[in-house]
Amino acid sequence: MTESALTPGIVAGRMGADQYAANFSDLHPPLDHHEALVAADRCYFCHDAPCATACPTDIDIPLFIRQIATGTPDAAAKTILTQNIMGGMCARVCPTETLCEEVCVRETAEGKPVEIGNLQRYATDVLMAKDVHPFTRAAATGKRVAVVGAGPAGLSCAHRLAMLGHEVTVYDARAKAGGLNEFGIAAYKSAGDFAEKEVQWLLKIGGITIETGKALGMGLEMSQLQADFDAVFLGIGLGGVNALGVVGEDKDGVLDAVDFIAELRQSSDLSGLPVGRDVVVIGGGMTAVDAAVQAKLLGALNVSLVYRRGRDRMNASQFEQDLAASKGVRIITNASPVAVHGNGSVREIEFEYSDDDLTPTGQTFRLPADQVFKAIGQTLEGSNLPALEGRKIAVTETGRTSVSGVWAGGDCASGGDDLTVTAVAEGRDAAMDMHAQLMTAAG
């Protein structure tokens, strides 16, 4: 193991290659053909389908499960992808336990829902393995649309626009498209290079050009985009990370959880990725859980996740909380950081307990830490943006902003949950509204 001079507790190579491979394999192994048929056979094919109502992308879930049950997984995949072009990734990362599966009649009656997420993955994987694209482009409209941000919202919007006959140019600040699917999802939820493969498969529709290394204020200006294109979609996400706002936050070893997750996702050799012996993650959402669990899977001895409110207020689902606990993560609630201690590098982090209304109790405690990950939310970055609602771009139900000809969706836009599946729906719906407006103007 190699050790850092500045942060002696942070080392790489804490485990053997076999252990890394096991720890970062699929959280939910894929169903084989027989398992998919058995799982599909449990569906009641409800006529009022509460599962479909709970799906942010409005997938006809009973229909695609019936198609699997009748031996036509390709048709099932097209049913899924018609509503959610990133159905493969959503099957892996969507919190189905709090959406479609939570309202499944089998869950209500037996406490064991139909495996909707796993069945969705089965169908989409079968189709994508054939390296074909199930959709074709409409006749060219002659309209050009700029999409800023190659994450789930931007890619969903771009695909739908391309399918409707428009020419789309997608810009992204990073060197690789995919957004949070590529850089922000825990590696055990999307094993291997699936995110990259899904983007390449999506682009088979044609009519989409991706330009990386460009973002608003970094080679792109809103005024120029509006002049060069017939419409603009903003799917820029949330680039900034909230600060703890405590003394000592600038010490070595205090890092942003999103950067840690991105580095892990892009690593070709996990044995070369250093992790602390005593790791503390601050936050209560999916990012916090992903960072905490992955620190443990990398070999950290002690991992604590500390959240300022109670467990019932955590954004991470009960499933995610239980997953963290099952991996050995200690969850501490009703505590807020007040100081980071250490000589140059973090050695301890001090917290103060608070009541449910965040009133400090005066009772403090310290946790040993050689690595601290901040996961307390992200902020919108950019200038000359459309009007904001709170800290996000204000949009209508179809993604229209305060600026004519400019739409927005995903994490940067107001309304909705910060989920991949929600971002896909918002990108798709914005594309449909853009198309209607562009064709009306052309008519």
Digit-coded pLDDT (tens) for 85-100 = 999 999 999 999 999 9
> Average pLDDT for residues 264-269, to the nearest whole number?
93
Are 33-129 and 242-377 equal in CATH topology?
no
253: left (phi over 0), alpha (psi -120 to 50) or beta: left
At residue 192, the pLDDT reads: 84
Give the CATH fold of the 33-129 domain.
Answer: Fumarate Reductase Iron-sulfur Protein; Chain B, domain 2 (1.10.1060)
At residue 7, the pLDDT reads: 65
Q: Which residue has the higher pLDDT, 353 or 443?
A: 353
pLDDT category at 350 given cuts 50, 70, 90 is: very high
Give the CATH fold of the 144-239+380-442 domain.
Answer: FAD/NAD(P)-binding domain (3.50.50)
- Residues 6 or more apart from 312 whose CB is under 8 A from it? none
CATH of domain 242-377: 3.50.50.60
pLDDT for residue 1 is more than 50: no
Q: What angle do CA 70, 71, 73 make, to 5 degrees?
A: 115
Q: Which residue has the higher pLDDT, 236 or 416?
A: 236
> Average pLDDT for residues 211-219, to the nearest whole number?
93
Phi, psi of 316 (to 5 degrees): -70, 135
Percent of the chain, pLDDT > 90? Answer: 91
pLDDT tens for each residue of 103-155: 999 999 999 999 999 999 999 999 999 988 999 999 999 999 999 999 999 99
> Average pLDDT for residues 267-296, to the nearest whole number?
96
pLDDT tens for each residue of 12-33: 999 999 999 999 998 889 999 9
Percent of the chain, pLDDT > 70? Answer: 98
Which of 390, 381, 392, 385 is CA-nearest to residue 422?
Answer: 392
pLDDT category at 418 given cuts 50, 70, 90 is: confident
The mean pLDDT of the chain is 94
Contact, 342 vs 248, CB < 8 A? yes
> Average pLDDT for residues 63-67, to the nearest whole number?
98
Q: What angle do CA 285, 124, 269 make, to 5 degrees?
A: 55
Percentage helix, strand, coil, to 5, in the chain? Answer: 40, 20, 40
Pairing of strands 330-332, 302-306: parallel
Contact, 39 vs 115, CB < 8 A? yes
At residue 405, the pLDDT reads: 97
pLDDT for residue 323 is more than 90: yes
Which of 146, 240, 148, 155 is CA-nearest to residue 196?
Answer: 155
At residue 443, the pLDDT reads: 66
The structure tokens listed for 134 are: 């199930």
pLDDT for residue 416 is more than 80: no
What single-letter amino acid sits at 270? L
pLDDT category at 356 given cuts 50, 70, 90 is: confident
The domain locations on the chain are: 33-129, 144-239+380-442, 242-377
Stated pTM of the model: 0.94
**CA Rg value for the chain:** 23
At residue 110, the pLDDT reads: 95
Q: How many CB atoms lie within 10 A of CB 190?
A: 22
> Average pLDDT for residues 178-183, to the nearest whole number?
95
Up-side HSE of residue 148: CA atoms within 13 Å toward CB? 26
Q: Which residues pair with 252 in a beta bridge?
A: 345
pLDDT category at 296 given cuts 50, 70, 90 is: very high
pLDDT category at 6 given cuts 50, 70, 90 is: very low
Q: Which of 118-127, 139-148, 315-324, 409-418 has the lowest mean pLDDT?
A: 409-418
pLDDT category at 239 given cuts 50, 70, 90 is: confident
- Residues 6 or more apart from 126 whose CB is under 8 A from it? 73, 74, 77
pLDDT category at 5 given cuts 50, 70, 90 is: very low
pLDDT for residue 3 is more than 70: no
